[in-house]
Amino acid sequence: MKASPSQRFIGAWREVGALPLTRVGPAPLQVAWLNDALGERAVGLGVAGEGEGRVDWADGGAPPVEPPGPWFGGWAFDEARGWPGFPAERWVLPALLVWEAGGRTFAAAFGVEGEARAPLIAGLERVSEASVSAPSDAKVSAASSREAWTRLVGDALAAIDGGLVQKIVLARELLVAAARPFDERTVLEALGAAQRGCHVFAFRGLDDSVFLGATPELLVDLRAQRLRTEALAGSAAPGQEAALLASAKDLAEHQFVVDALEARLRPFVHAVDRPARPSVRALANVVHLHTPMQATLRAPTDARLLARALHPTPAVCGTPTDAARSWLRAHERFARGWYTGVVAARGSDKFTAFVALRSSLLRKQEAIVFAGAGIVRGSSAEAEWEETERKARAMMNGLGVNTHG
């Protein structure tokens, strides 16, 4: 169902018994939005509407804590390189949304205003716990070759040396196969347990494929007029924090992102508040240079317009943006789709968007895992290959691939 800005939806809610959100059923998950740091944990089933539209609460009024969203969606890294089942941009209002807040669990059913409310109430009555499959016995069945990667990095460095760009972010894809279809609930639970500090997400495509991951990178969080974003670029193996902070190559790569974010925010905000130097953010498989940023908007602004002004950052595309993206269209031999795109939740007075990293596209018993690395002057194909291997490991483990043997 497509929605227009003038279309109105209605929601009915109730408090329900506690159950793991990844196991909310009985229908398949349409979206998952799991972020402990923000205190936002929700899953959605089915689709009540698509596009946009106002959502009001039925007779009982709003729940004591409003849910994330209730609109969820995002867009591709480059609309010229899309995936079947995933439009260049898509927003959905789930038919059923279940979320946690303050130690309590709530459920809301949504429908078009003016339609009978009995189906909404019936939807709330059907909230149950779905079964979850055991992890798949999966293995890597195909991957881009190291030789091809070395040639691609060499071509990127030649473009940098020739003055076409200052940075290009290259990506790889790895194909994982399993004996039976992947269960996105199982993968989400594995990611949530292993990737603390990351935003765990899932979106079901029109073709029933599922894009999911555990991304560390916030693009924008806008609450009223207050905005947060972050630069996350420059990587190393765990235990190499001191070397990362001293690396001229990584600091330069990180500064590209800081400078770009500040420049793109300038028309919208009074001033950007950030530390003078990056710190290190440690994740399970990799450590990153990290610069958090805060600002206050000059005037009310469409959050999606603001997010599009920031995306794609040099952390996922390169700089200058247009030249880097054109280079990638000519040289990167696969469709990124929503990988390095944006996944987001939007409500009446808040909008949160993440860059879709450390992710995979599940298609029944196959999964495509994505990993990337930023190429700047001083990069080496060998070091950047190892970086993509580290980044892919989180998703591989979530899919049940043994990365230690």
- Which amino acid type is present at position 148? A
The one-character DSSP state at 230 is E
In the chain, the N- to C-terminal Cα span, in Å, equals: 47
Residue 53 DSSP SS3: coil
Note whether 267 and 320 are within 8 A (CB): no
In angstroms, the CA 135 to CA 137 distance is 7
The DSSP letter of residue 380 is: -
Q: Which amino acid is at 308?
A: R
Beta strands in 249-341 (DSSP E): 269-273, 279-282, 287-297, 318-319
ω into 26 cis (within 30 of 0): yes
Catalytic option among 173, 217, 253, 332: 217
Q: Which residue in 40, 52, 167, 184 is the catalytic one?
A: 167
Residue 217 annotated to the active site: yes
Contact (Cβ atoms closer than 8 angstroms) between residue 45 and residue 70: no
CA dist 50 and 355 (Å) reads: 21
Q: How far is CA 69 from the centre of its chain?
A: 15
Q: Is 350 a catalytic residue?
A: no
| 359 three-class SS | strand
Question: So which residues are the catalytic ones?
Answer: 167, 217
